[in-house]
Amino acid sequence: MSLELIKKYQAQFEEFVKIDDFTLEEVTRRVPAEKHFWVCRLIDAKIEKDKLYKLKASTKHTLQKKLMEESPVALNKQVMDDLDKTPSLENINQKIKEHEYLVEYLDRVVSLITFISQDIKNIIELKKLQEM
């Protein structure tokens, strides 16, 4: 799901950063709202990632408890560490990795929007020079 979300966000961000003479003023006015939008998406992704880490810990604890109760012999650390290879935990680990990519992507988008004002200023200066 996160990878599809990244693709959706890429298309959305690419649409925003298309700057030409006709859209320059509109883009300039939209920068604060766009930054707010992307910061909110970043926070949402971080919250979701934290939820996945908690789910992983809870699932792992449940599996460890179940194994210890059902096992006729004492289990060593290696067996407990191998729980990460169970399908349920592998699935959670994959989702966590995808959310880490999403957080990284959104963090970079926010950085780009933070500095887009300088890019817009440079475009305006270039236009002024061309008009001379």
Token pair listed for 3: 């990878």
Q: For 90-131, write each residue's pLDDT tens digit.
A: 999 999 999 999 999 999 999 999 888 888 888 888 878 888
User: Once rounded to an integer, what is the mean pLDDT over residues 51-74?
Assistant: 85
User: Once rounded to an integer, what is the mean pLDDT over residues 15-26?
Assistant: 83
Q: For 27-43, write each residue's pLDDT tens digit.
A: 888 889 999 999 999 99
What is the pLDDT at residue 11? 93
| Residue 74 backbone phi and psi in degrees, to 5 | -70, 140
What is the pLDDT at residue 77? 64
Token pair listed for 61: 């604890």
